[in-house]
Amino acid sequence: MTKKEKLLEEALELSAMEKSEIIEQLMMSLDQPDREMDSLWKKEVEHRIDAYNEGKIGSVTVQEAYKKYSNR
């Protein structure tokens, strides 16, 4: 049995609260800053804002976006 399999087997025996706490801590460990990705997103946002300001792209309301994507 691998370390991962053993860990999973033991985790499945925990209470719901204990599982929830472990999940939260694991998720927080994954949410580390990624400066390269942040920089790429910053450039993308700036590109989209410029395109909007230049009239190259439009916008929709939140309600329109929800309606469009909730039907998928």
The structural domains of the chain, with segments of one domain joined by +, span: 1-32, 35-70
pTM: 0.49
3-state secondary structure labels for all residues of the chain: CCHHHHHHHHHCCCCHHHHHHHHHHHHHHHCCCCHHHHHHHHHHHHHHHHHHHCCCCCCCCHHHHHHHHHCC
Q: What is the pLDDT of residue 32?
A: 82
pLDDT tens digits along 10-63: 999 999 999 999 999 999 888 788 889 999 999 999 999 999 999 999 999 999
